[in-house]
Chain A
């Protein structure tokens, strides 16, 4: 068996080798420059954020012992040795948790409906007029860039303390986030049905209703469910600014150093988030088959 590897003359080989080495060196240099730039940015940032490693290491013990403390009952025993005592306030907490879930449900639904109404104006292929599209897009962008909790802070002043402010904040934020995602689905929709319906002389509204909506509802529902998951998490902190739900109780427990309450409420929230994740995953699977996770 002959081996057909041609050996190039030395001169040619040297030229190729040099070119290769140069290319590699350039790539390395770029990488090195990138890393150096990144490290420099980190250093500047650590000054900006007042990072102090001494503080960190002195207080790191606190972090560990904080978990030790929140897992200890007043009697000095571990929390799981007396679950009844640990979850002594379960009645009140479950009620607040229900409130949190309702806040996210009502907020998500309102947001989804508003996003549904607006997204046809924001999508490139269905918007009736460019100026309308521009306006709606900027509106949605504003709604999703301003964090929900900032809206909540303002709404608490306008609408008074309580879950109403939380619901409205979540609704606005969801409108912005879902409006963008919805309009992206619409932009991917097949336009042939729309042409078909327009050719029969139908109005814009009928085109949307009979040609676009049937194509996109599955995607909409999937995104709305995902949003609900995210909103449950978000609603759990709405209480920090007085906008209802379990967050209120949590911030009181943390600020007043009711250690075992902190862990009990955290466990309640984490378990709820798990359950919601699993439940919405299951619903999505039922509605759109296994690949539904958009």
Chain B
């Protein structure tokens, strides 16, 4: 057996200067970035009052709380919780539907291939962005001020905050649509509305339907928490039970939320594939 020939490292080094003699700036970039990230992290820990003793005592407290949570037990309030869960699901369904209805026409205005003028598109897009920049919980607080405490405020909060998200997603779906069909309609003498109705919508509706279903799913999650600020649903019960330290009820409510979300995930996943076929949701 022969040994492989000796490697002439000097020659290789000379031949590939990019690999062996990288400039110091390139070699230091990654460690410098990591160091900076770590420095900010440590600064954050100090600035946010992280102390090991507090952390450990909190952990032991948390351990104690988890012990108290077992076994999950609704006590005598199961009917109340089921009603609250129904309320949450209603909020998610209604809020998402409302948002989708209002977002569709607006998203047409934000799509490049429908409204070519960027002066018109720009304010619409920034408007949608600002709505999205505000968390659902904040919208819930605003609507509570308007229509009072209760699930109706929750519906409106979900509707408004999703309106921003849908507007963006829909307009992206519309921009991704094939222009040829629109051109065909224009060639046969169709008006701008005909172009949208017969050229664009048939292409984007399945995509939009998929997104709406996906949002209903993710809104079940958001709807579970808006009750924390008083906008109805199971979050209200959860926040109350946490405040009065009824840990067994808390764990039961969390379990209920987990099961409900899993069920909605399953159903809407099936529906989504039934509507759009096995294609991935864009």
What residues make up the interface of A, taking CB atoms closer than 8 Å to B? 41-42, 44-52, 55-56, 59-60, 62-63, 66, 99, 102-103, 105-106, 109, 142, 145-147, 149-150, 153-155, 157-160, 162-164, 167, 233-234, 236-237, 240-241, 244, 250-251, 254, 266, 269-270, 273-274, 277
Q: Report A156 CB to chain B, min CB distance, Å.
A: 9
By beta carbon, the residue of chain B nearest A44 is: B90
Interface string of B171-183 (1 = CB under 8 A from A): 0000000000000
By beta carbon, the residue of chain A nearest B160 is: A63
Q: Indicate which residue in A50, A142, A149, A254 contacts B151 across the interface (CB closer than 8 Å).
A: A50
| Interface pick from B17-25, B126-134, B185-193 | B126-134
Q: Report B243 CB to chain A, min CB distance, Å.
A: 8
Is B14 on the interface with A (CB-CB < 8 A)?
A: no
Contact check, B50 vs A164: say whether CB atoms are below 8 A apart. Answer: yes
Known: A66-B145, A251-B141. A49 touches B154 (CB 8 A): yes
By beta carbon, the residue of chain A nearest B247 is: A154
Contact check, B48 vs A237: say whether CB atoms are below 8 A apart. Answer: no
What separation, in Å, do the CA atoms of A250 and B45 have in the docked complex? 24
What's the count of A-B pairs with C-beta under 8 Å?
164
Contact check, B134 vs A266: say whether CB atoms are below 8 A apart. Answer: yes
Known: A106-B48, A270-B130. A155 touches B137 (CB 8 A): no
Is B58 on the interface with A (CB-CB < 8 A)?
A: yes
- Enumerate 14 A-B pairs (CB-CB under 8 Å) in ascending A order: A48-B90, A48-B151, A51-B152, A59-B146, A99-B48, A145-B257, A150-B228, A150-B242, A164-B48, A167-B44, A233-B135, A240-B228, A273-B133, A274-B133
By beta carbon, the residue of chain B nearest A262 is: B142
Contacts of B55 in A (CB 8 A): 159, 164
Contacts of A164 in B (CB 8 A): 48-50, 54-55, 58
What residues make up the interface of B, taking CB atoms closer than 8 Å to A? 37, 40-41, 43-45, 47-50, 54-55, 58-59, 61-62, 65, 86-87, 89-91, 93-94, 97, 129-130, 133-135, 137-138, 141-143, 145-148, 150-152, 154-156, 221-222, 224-225, 228-229, 232, 238-239, 242, 245, 250, 254, 257-258, 261-262
Contact check, B94 vs A45: say whether CB atoms are below 8 A apart. Answer: yes
Q: Indicate which residue in A147, A155, A236 contacts B225 across the interface (CB closer than 8 Å).
A: A147
Known: A49-B155, A240-B229. A146 touches B44 (CB 8 A): no
Contact check, A109 vs B155: say whether CB atoms are below 8 A apart. Answer: no
By beta carbon, the residue of chain A nearest B59 is: A158
Known: A106-B44, A150-B254. A49 touches B225 (CB 8 A): no
Contact check, B87 vs A48: say whether CB atoms are below 8 A apart. Answer: yes
Contacts of B242 in A (CB 8 A): 150, 153-154, 157
Contact check, A105 vs B40: say whether CB atoms are below 8 A apart. Answer: yes
Contact check, A150 vs B142: say whether CB atoms are below 8 A apart. Answer: no
Contacts of A251 in B (CB 8 A): 141, 229
Q: Indicate which residue in B50, B138, B151, B229 contacts A266 across the interface (CB closer than 8 Å).
A: B138
What separation, in Å, do the CA atoms of A49 and B155 have in the docked complex? 7
